[in-house]
Structure 1
Amino acid sequence: MATTTEALPSSMLAAQITEFNKPHSINTIPLPDIHNLAPHDLYLKVAVSGLCHSDLEYLKGTFPHISLPITGSHEGTGVLIAKGSAVDYFDIDDRILAGQTFGRCGDCEICRGPENYRHYCPNRETMMSVHRNGAFQEYLVVDGREAAKIPEGMSFATAAPLACAGMTSWRGVKQCDLKPGEWIGVVGSGGGLGHLAVQMAQKAFGLKVVGVDARDEGLALTGEAGADLVLDAREGKEKMVETVHSVTDGKGVHACLNVSDAKSAAPTAAAITRNHGTVVQVALIDDVALPFNDVIFRDIRLKGSFMASQAEIQEMLHAVVQHKIKLENNVFLGIKEIPKAVEMLKNGQYRGKACIVVDEEAPGVLPGNGRL
């Protein structure tokens, strides 16, 4: 095991779920054991953690088998201070973006490749904020096979929300499998994932983008993100289809990415997609239902996408820097601010994403001067 010479404290602050449907509790807990790392483990001093919409689902107990108490957040970044014996891709003091999953077996058919499916391993152990503590704490152990290096020119505050929203949007756009100049729809385009997907599709993949949202602030953010066509879902499906057809030679978009958990979102995505096109679903809902006439008579295909692989995450991070993709971010200072940030997320009191600065002294915390 390689490790830093930094002296560690005896305890740390953590924002934990101790009871479902109650705010996070700010607790003092022991650090992870730095002397008992698995071969692929990375031990991070957390710099910035992201707040994801899924954190609300963790609080409600929506995900099965959550072990309480559990530290929230699956969007973590930090400085590497120790690593397991099998880790050779990362060095001490690297700036790390954490992956969410742990302990894939490495032996099954899926783990043997292709690389961009390995994170689907059915034998993996668990995920952050389910059976393993998440990133709303000062020190964190993650699986090095699912992590990535934060590139030069990217702050921790920019990187943290990309640990879920960024990677999920990136892979979702890739799964649409489109060529430059073709049309992609993004349903939920004015949210945390959506405004990133619009920019990624347009700037990195050269696609033309139809953005769909149903909130005034979401429509505004969709336009600011650069969508070629902005649709208000409140106008109804028929009107949206008519408008999309008017700019796509009467055919519809070639594929559509659905990042909205609204019940009508997936049918909307199918409606604006042309015959034989694909709807890629990444929003987490209990059931994804498409009208039979779209599936059978128009051959609309439904495809799911789950997070991203290590190589896809690394590719995404460099693309964000290269193409100057902008993150609508809301910064909160300190773990004790997490209950406030969560309440604001519940009430829709900010646009885009939010992150919590855990270590104000970490190098490159914020864009610009890099420190608070």
Structure 2
Amino acid sequence: MATTTTTQSLPSNMLAAQIVGFHKPHSINKIPVPDINNLNPHDLYLKVAVSGLCHSDLEYLKGTFPHISLPITGSHEGTGVILAKGSAVDYFNVGDRILAGQTFGRCGECDICKGPENYRHYCPHRETMMSVHRNGAFQEYLIVDGREAALIPDSMSFATAAPLACAGMTSWRGVKQCELKPGQWIAIVGSGGGLGHLAIQMAKKAFGLKVVGVDARDEGLALTEEAGADLVLDARIGKENFVEQVHKHTDGKGVHAALNVSDAKSAAPTAAAITRDHGTVVQIALIDEVSLPFHDVIFRNIHLKGSFMASQAEIQEMLYTVVEHKIKLENNIFHGIPEIPRAVEMLRNGEYRGKACIVVDEGAPGTLPGDSRM
């Protein structure tokens, strides 16, 4: 049974940007609106406000992720206003502004679901993710799992929140997984991208860490510096020179931990090379294989950890941290679902820095930064 107080009449169809074939642009289609009266207990029914464009959307278009059901609506970065909720939802109310989680249908019964809260989203029995078997946020109305969603702070706009639904929460959890103390050194490999420039600010402002920012693109190096890295290094100078520079600034030992958000094949070995003995490399970037030199793993005891998105509590913590510490998102805003193919092509060609989002509902309260909202 759904709880709803919406007085608006919903249309029969809605606009959506869909993947209809791999290696083809998104198709702008009219599709049926989800049934607001047929919700599962943990469902939230949203009127989508702003949707984020992630690098993973390029992978969806290529068919990189297995078992994608076509046609399917793109984007796993959604925000919106709750129009209705399922019978088991008690954390949210109709009318709340929320950031959607990406996953659906964890079982709630396995050891992982009953274990530490910050690992529940790893449930091996969860159903699927947005843009894989279920429609994503490039559409006007959307059903999401309330157990993976978070409240957007009143002082945050939808346009700021949407890109945080992947880049923000993934960076936040990655920095936390490094388990460092204030004053210690962290390296961000891939520091000048959508995740990297957020991770720099989170590491410095929220955790009090010193940051080595690593990138191999001129525009990435510029954004790394603007984000506040203590040491900015160009990975193109060669491994020997690179390691020497890091050691020079870290008491000759290297960083205490490194966070890899780059999908370059050499990125993980680079992260290990500049990490001090017994340190940790946290892998976030999605690549087919993560390979570290045996010398670093065996003789220097470098630990490799992975980090997968974030749990509900971690996402909520991240959103309030972004507000509290005034973490700046390099954002590119597009207006309207028909703009999505152009935004995707610009992402593919590297024509903007940072992140991008698409305003789906121009009339949603608090859509854009300004006045009292960041």
Instruction: Give the shorter-chain TM-score range.
Output: over 0.9
Partner of 1:251: 253
Q: Is the 8 A contact 2:34 2:142 kept in 1?
A: yes
Hey, what does 2:48 align to over in structure 1? 46
Contact 1:364 1:370 in 2 (8 A): no
Letter aligned with residue 228 of structure 2: G
One-letter amino acid of the structure 1 residue matched with residue 297 of structure 2: V
2:88 pairs with 1:86: yes
Tell me, yes or no, if the aligned pair for 1:363 and 1:370 is still in contact at 8 Å: no
CA RMSD, 1 decimal: 0.8
- Structure 1 residue 152 displacement after superposition: 1.4
8 Å CA contact retained: 1:155, 1:370? no
Q: Where does residue 159 of structure 2 map in the other structure?
A: 157
How much has 1:237 moved relative to structure 2? 1.3
Number of equivalenced pairs: 371
Aligned residues of 2:28 and 2:338 also touching (Cα < 8 A): yes
- Does structure 2 conserve the Cα–Cα contact (< 8 Å) formed by 1:45 and 1:79? yes
Q: Residue by residue, what CA displacement relative to the aligned partner does 1:295-318 show, whole Å, maximum 9, x if unpaired?
A: 111110100000000000000000
TM-score (norm 2): 0.98
| Structure 1 runs (4+) greater than 6 angstroms displaced | none
- The answer to whether the Cα contact below 8 Å between 2:54 and 2:356 also exists between their aligned partners in 1 is yes
Q: 1:23 aligns with which of 15, 25, 31?
A: 25
Pairwise mapping of residues 257-268 of structure 1 onto structure 2 (< 5 A)? 257-268=259-270
Q: Residues of 2 paired with 1:54 and 1:369: CA distance?
A: 32
Q: 1:300 aligns with which of 291, 299, 302?
A: 302
Q: Aligned to 1:111, what secondary structure does the other structure show?
A: helix
Q: Which runs of 5+ in 2 are unaligned?
A: none
Which residue is 1:111 aligned to?
113
Task: Determine if contact 2:53/2:77 at 8 Å carries over to the other structure.
Answer: yes
- Determine the structure 2 residue equivalent to 1:334: 336
- Kindly provide the CA deviation profile for residues 329-350 of structure 1, in whole angstroms up to 9, marking residues without a partner as x: 0000000000000000000000
Deviations 1:269-322 (A, max 9, x none): 000100000000000000000011111111101000000000000000000000
Identity of aligned residues (%): 84
Q: Does 1:224 align with 2:222?
A: no
2:159–2:367 contact (8 Å) kept in structure 1: yes
Residues 43 and 143 of structure 2 are in contact (CA less than 8 Å); yes or no, is this contact kept in structure 1? yes
Q: Deviations over 1:88-137 (max 9, x none)?
A: 10001100100000000000000002000000000000000000000000
Asked whether the 8 Å contact 2:155–2:372 carries over to 1, the reply is: no
Pick which of 234-243 and 213-222 moved more: 234-243
CA distance in 1 between partners of 2:267 and 2:8 (Å): 49
Letter in 1 for 2:114: R
Q: SS state of the match for residue 110, structure 1? A: helix
- Pairwise CA distance, 1:200: 0.2
Question: What is the aligned partner in structure 2 of residue 102 from structure 1?
Answer: 104
SS at match of 1:193: helix
Compute the displacement of 1:10 (Å): 1.2
The CA distance in 2 between the partners of 1:54 and 1:238, in whole Å, is 32
Partner Cα separation in structure 1 for residue 371 and residue 136 of structure 2: 28
**Contact 2:192–2:215 (8 Å) recurs in 1:** yes
Pair 302,102 (structure 1): closer, same or farther in 2 beyond 3 Å: same
Q: How many Å apart are 1:195 and its aligned residue?
A: 0.2
Cα displacement (A) at 1:355: 0.2
**1:369, distance to aligned residue in structure 2 (A):** 4.1
Deviation at 1:258, TM superposition (A): 0.1
The 5 Å alignment of 1:182-221 reads 182-221=184-223
Mapped to 1, the partners of 2:70 and 2:371 lie a distance apart of 39
Distance in 1 (alpha carbons) for counterparts of 2:239 and 2:48: 44
In structure 1, give the amino acid aligned to 2:241: K
Partner amino acid, structure 1, of 2:23: N
| 8 Å Cα contact 2:335/2:358 also seen in 1 | yes
| Map of 1:126 onto structure 2 | 128
C-alpha deviation, 1:370, in angstroms? 8.0
Of 331, 350, 353, which residue of structure 2 is paired with 1:351?
Answer: 353
Counterpart for residue 175 of structure 2: 173
How high is the TM-score relative to the length of structure 1?
0.99
Cα deviation, residue 236, structure 1: 1.1
> 1:135 — aligned with what?
137
Question: Which AA in structure 2 matches 1:348?
Answer: G
